[in-house]
Amino acid sequence: MVDENLIKELKEMREKGPSKPSDALKMYEFVKQMIDESEDLKEELEDIDSMVVQLVVTDADFKYWVKLGEGTIGYGEGAGDDPSVTMSATGATWAGLSSGEMDSTSAYMSGDLVIDGNLQDAIAYGEILAIAMEEGAQYFE
């Protein structure tokens, strides 16, 4: 079951916009809790090899990592252990991507989203997030 207080916080962030870069970590907690709710998400995470994605908010000197694959997801502040891909963007770009106002392909093509490393892992990461957000949309209606 997804924590009701977390859903409330995420709804407020959607309405007001994130106030600090670390607010993004709440989204990953939501995804982590969604694994128990969604067979599709669980299967996707079981089907991919373990990877670490490093995310950098360039205008806030903030970075965090997401480890996913083999049926699980983990996350934390700071540098990840041996990331296969690093994605960097401003806070405004990350906010646009997470709200759906901005498309990741367009952001990448325009240079607003910089991807270094394994592009396939970046795509797999995006697909996992898309499934989680689609499956979790019911909580935000």
**DSSP calls for 2-29:** --HHHHHHHHHHHHH--SSGGGHHHHHH
pLDDT of residue 90: 95
CA atoms within 13 A on the CB side of 123: 4
**Interatomic CA distance for residues 92 and 101, integer angstroms:** 11
Q: Where are the domains of the chain?
A: 4-140
Write out pLDDT tens, residues 11-59. 888 788 667 888 889 989 999 998 888 888 999 999 999 999 999 999 9
Encoded tokens for 105: 């392909």
> What is the pLDDT at residue 18?
64
Q: Which helix (H) or strand (E) holds 74?
A: strand 72-77
Three-class SS of residue 73? strand
Does the pLDDT value for residue 9 go beyond 70? yes
Q: Which residue has the higher pLDDT, 74 or 132?
A: 74
Question: Mean per-residue pLDDT for 126-138?
Answer: 87
What was the pLDDT predicted at 12?
86
pLDDT over threshold 80, residue 117: yes
Fold topology of 4-140: Nonspecific Lipid-transfer Protein; Chain A (3.30.1050)
pLDDT band, residue 67 (cuts 50/70/90): very high
pLDDT at 79 over 70: yes
Give 93: exposed, middle or buried? Use CB within 10 Å, 0-12, 13-18, 19+. buried
Q: Which has more confidence, 98 or 124?
A: 124
Residue 139 is predicted with a pLDDT of 84
